[in-house]
């Protein structure tokens, strides 16, 4: 019962506040894993001995500090492993930390729907429910071989263990915000490819600027197109080289968009997400004899400085200004 899962009650679209809050957890333990947008796992095994309090007591301290320092309330679940901590969080309320011990784990899980289990996505959950395995209790009761026939050998074994309350996971410290995202909504059903491209240009420009401000590069770009009927299409492409260069991001975004070949689709929003972020200094860059690329990068640098001085709208591509 030494792992905490904390959900900060952030207002929507404030994931930028998460790094600061993680710092708060790092005051207690170095083993903190961020679960964007608003959750984090913390391993308090060492901290319990150091502070002389058990995890539930520490949870109260964390809540008080979050409120005092950041004005953010939080809910906390505690358990012997990350999976149980996360499951416990579902039952927690602000001020009431839900703790699950190893002994009561199986009973605690029995009544939970399968979809609640970390690692069970909508597809797996649908498969399991189709066969009447809608609660974790039923999953635990089903023969292991049957589960493996349903969802595959490895996934079946893991599922069976997790459902029986066996939690083999560890908290893996990670850097924060492994991805950056931005969205461009349309006020009505938009079919015009020019407007779509303009939205992508603006979104890619913003991502590039944000990446460069963080001194990061991204290795992959994901395009999500949302339609009027609430469905969406998602495409991901790995960049030739990790970059934060707006022109390169825009080019990749355009390529993905063209590949969709949209004609009559009623687009309501387009969003871009930069993924697999890494530090900029470790990124490689293929030099060319073509001076254009070099010029673009220098212009970008200048534009960034101008924006830093005169605000984000000081410099922008001509098509967006119109």
Partner 1 sequence: MPGFTHLHTVSGFSLRYGASHPERLAERAAERGMDALALTDRDTLAGTVRFAKACAKAGVRPLFGAELAVEEYEPVRQERRRAPVRGGAFIDESTPRVTFLARDGARGWADLCRLVTTVHTAADTPLLTWAGNHGDGLTVLLGPDSDVGRALTAGRPDRAARLLVPWRERYGDALRLEAVWHGREGTGPGSLRLAARTVGFAAEQRVRPVLGNAVRYADPGQGPVADVLDAARRLVPVGAAKELDSGEAWLKDAPAMLAAAERIVEAAGFRRDTAHRLLEQTRATAAECLVDPADDLGIGTVHFPEPHLVGAGRRTAQRTLASRAAAGMLLKGYDRSAKGRLYWERMHQELDIIAHHGFASYFLTVAQVVDDVREMGVRVAARGSGAGSLVNHLLGIAHADPVEHGLLMERFLSKRRLVLPDIDIDVESARRLEVYRAIIGRFGTERVATVAMPETYRVRHAVRDVGAALSMDPADIDRIAKSFPHIRARDARAALEELPELRALAGEKDRYGRLWELVESLDALPRGVAMHPCGVLLSDASLLARTPVMPTSGEGFPMSQFDKDDVEDLGLLKLDVLGVRMQSAMAHAVAEVERATGERVDIDAIAPGDPATYQLIRSTETLGCFQIESPGQRDLVGRLQPASFHDLVVDISLFRPGPVAADMVRPFIEARHGRAPVRYPHPDLEEPLKGTYGVVVFHEQIIDIVDIMTGCGRGEADRVRRGLSDPESQGRIRFWFAQHAAARGYDAETIQRTWEIIEAFGSYGFCKAHAVAFAVPTYQSAWLKAHHPAAFYAGLLTHDPGMYPKRLLLADARRRGVPILPLDVNKSAVAHRIELVSDSGVWGLRLALSDVHGISEAEAARIADGQPYASLLDFWERARPSRPLAQRLAQVGALDAFGANRRDLQLHLTELHRGARGGGGGQLPLSGGRKTASAGLPDLSSAEKLSAELGVLSMDASRNLMDDHREFLAELGVASARRLREARHGETVLVAGAKAATQTPPIRSGKRVIFSTLDDGTGLVDLAFFDDSHDACAHTVFHSWLLLVRGTVQRRGPRSLSVVGTAAWNLAELVELRAEQGLDAVAARLAEPVPEAGEDSTGGRRIHLPTGYELHPWADLRPAGQEPSQVRKLWHQSPGSAG
Is the bond preceding residue 37 a cis peptide, omega within 30 degrees?
yes
Site membership for partner 1, residue 263 (CB under 8 A): yes
Site membership for partner 1, residue 111 (CB under 8 A): no
- CB closer to partner 1 out of 41 and 133: 133
What six digits make up the tokens of 100?
């699950």
- Residues 211-250 touching partner 1, rule: CB under 8 A, are 225, 227-231, 233
Least separation in angstroms between CB 200 and partner 1 = 16
Least separation in angstroms between CB 185 and partner 1 = 13
Among positions 53, 65, 112, 138, the unique one binding partner 1 when judged by CB under 8 A: 138
Site membership for partner 1, residue 157 (CB under 8 A): no
- CB closer to partner 1 out of 149 and 305: 149
- Residues 162-201 touching partner 1, rule: CB under 8 A, are 188-192
Site membership for partner 1, residue 149 (CB under 8 A): yes
Among positions 16, 96, 213, 259, the unique one binding partner 1 when judged by CB under 8 A: 259
Site membership for partner 1, residue 269 (CB under 8 A): no
Site membership for partner 1, residue 132 (CB under 8 A): yes
Order of all β-strands in the sheet with 232-243: 180-190, 267-279, 216-227, 232-243
Least separation in angstroms between CB 140 and partner 1 = 12
What six digits make up the tokens of 125?
């959950």
Site membership for partner 1, residue 150 (CB under 8 A): yes
Site membership for partner 1, residue 51 (CB under 8 A): no
Least separation in angstroms between CB 228 and partner 1 = 6
Least separation in angstroms between CB 222 and partner 1 = 15
Least separation in angstroms between CB 179 and partner 1 = 23
- CB closer to partner 1 out of 72 and 139: 139
- CB closer to partner 1 out of 146 and 319: 146
Least separation in angstroms between CB 233 and partner 1 = 6
Site membership for partner 1, residue 125 (CB under 8 A): no
Q: Which residues contact 281 (CB under 8 A, 6 or more apart)?
A: 215
Q: 235 forms bridges with which residues in the sheet?
A: 223
Site membership for partner 1, residue 53 (CB under 8 A): no
Part in contact with partner 1 (CB under 8 A); list of ranges 58-66, 71-79, 112-120, 263-271: 263-271
Among positions 220, 262, 269, 315, the unique one binding partner 1 when judged by CB under 8 A: 262
Q: Which residues contact 51 (CB under 8 A, 6 or more apart)?
A: 28, 58
3-state secondary structure the chain: CCEEEEEECCCCCCHHHHHHHHHHHHCCCCCEEEECCCEEEEECHHHHHHHCCCHHHHHHHHHHHHHHHHCCCEEEEEECCHHHHHHHHCCCECCECEECCCCCHHHHHHCCEHHHCCCCCHHHHHHHHHCCCCEHHHHHHCCHHHHHHHHCHHHHHHHHHHHCCCCCCCCCCCCCCCCEEEEEEEEEEECCHHHHHHHHHHHHHHHHHHHHHHCEEEEEEEEEEEECCCCEEEEEEEEEEEECCHHHHHHHHHHHHHHHCCCCCCEEEEEEEEEEEEEHHHCCCCCCCCHHHHHHHHHHHHHHHHHHHHCCCCCCCHHHHC
Q: By CB under 8 A, name the binding residues for partner 1.
A: 130-133, 138, 141-143, 145-146, 149-150, 188-192, 225, 227-231, 233, 258-266
């Amino acid at each position: 019962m030494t792992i905490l899962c904390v959900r900060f009650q952030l207002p929507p679209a404030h994931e930028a506040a998460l790094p600061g809050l993680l710092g708060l957890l790092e005051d207690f333990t170095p083993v903190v894993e961020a679960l964007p947008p608003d959750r984090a796992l913390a391993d308090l095994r060492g901290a319990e001995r150091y502070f002389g309090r058990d995890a539930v007591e520490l949870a109260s301290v964390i809540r008080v500090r979050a409120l005092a320092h950041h004005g953010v309330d939080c809910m906390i679940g505690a358990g012997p492993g990350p999976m149980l901590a996360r499951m416990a969080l579902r039952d927690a309320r602000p001020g009431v930390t839900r703790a699950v011990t190893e002994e009561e784990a199986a009973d605690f899980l029995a009544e939970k729907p399968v979809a609640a289990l970390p690692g069970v996505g909508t597809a797996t959950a649908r498969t399991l429910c189709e066969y009447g395995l809608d609660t974790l209790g039923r999953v635990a009761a089903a023969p292991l071989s049957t589960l493996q026939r349903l969802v595959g050998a490895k996934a079946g074994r893991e599922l069976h263990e997790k459902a029986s309350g066996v939690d083999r996971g560890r908290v893996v410290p990670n850097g924060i915000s492994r991805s950056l995202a931005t969205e461009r909504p349309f006020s009505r059903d938009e079919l015009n490819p020019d407007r779509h491209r303009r939205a992508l240009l603006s979104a890619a420009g913003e991502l590039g600027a944000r990446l460069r401000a963080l001194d990061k590069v991204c290795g992959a770009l994901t395009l999500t197109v949302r339609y009027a009927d609430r469905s969406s299409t998602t495409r991901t492409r790995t960049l030739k080289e990790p970059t934060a260069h707006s022109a390169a991001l825009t080019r990749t975004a355009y390529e993905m968009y063209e590949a969709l070949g949209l004609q009559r689709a009623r687009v309501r929003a387009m969003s871009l997400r930069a993924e697999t972020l890494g530090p900029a200094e470790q990124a490689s860059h293929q030099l060319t004899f073509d001076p254009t690329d070099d010029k673009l990068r220098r212009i970008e640098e200048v534009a960034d400085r101008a924006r830093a001085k005169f605000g984000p709208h000081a410099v922008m591509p001509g098509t967006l200004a119109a």
